[in-house]
Amino acid sequence: MDLRRQIAIVRAWFPLLVASVVLAAVAAFARSSGPLQIIHVTGERDYPGVARNLSSPDANPNYQAYPFLDDFPKALAVADAAVSRAGGSVAELLARGVPSLLVPYPLAAGDHQTKNAETVAAAGAAIVTRDSELTPDLLVDRVKILLDPDVNLSMRKAAVGLARPEAATRIADVIVELASAKDGEKR
């Protein structure tokens, strides 16, 4: 498998004590010297620890960590795959057609992240791994699956098919329509 131009985005910021995605990503990729490029958006809290791991002489030069990205959609535009929680970022992944490994946050309200992840996986746009099952070896295996050319193409098509990039406009139109109807009733 040729990984020279492939980029995986790891986006993981979440409450204390649930740092499995961060820990697995660092353990799996921070010391490897392969051609895979990693862009890891850690969040402010986890950035110092990840940056310390990446400052050692044996750190992977293709592993870049950022506490935050001002233009996350641009990063997704060059991504071949992503590893992420399954909250609001799912819409961004789908809009850009990025195949993903989704690791639902197990303490999310109403377990909505698991529902999001399962919906995306059922459509063929993601692989789901439970937080409690995530290990560095499993992460590496899942990323290899995502980067397989045939799997990647199929998942990209599924992601784009599931995306609703016009959703904000449609919601705004409904709000304007409802407000107009309500104003008409008052007159």
Is 115 inside a domain boundary? Answer: yes
Q: Report the CATH number at residue 179.
A: 3.40.50.2000
Instruction: Give per-residue pLDDT as tens, 114-172.
Output: 999 999 999 999 999 998 888 888 888 998 899 999 999 999 999 999 888 777 788 88
Containing H/E element for 143? helix 136-147
Is 50 inside a domain boundary? Answer: yes
Which position has the token pair 């799912």? 90
Q: Going along the chain, which residue ranges are E strands?
A: 7-11, 37-41, 63-66, 81-84, 100-102, 126-128
Is 97 inside a domain boundary? Answer: yes
Instruction: Give per-residue pLDDT as tens, 27-71.
Output: 778 887 777 888 888 888 888 988 988 898 888 888 888 888 888
Is 1 inside a domain boundary? Answer: no
Separation between Cα atoms, residue 56 and residue 111, nearest integer Å:
38
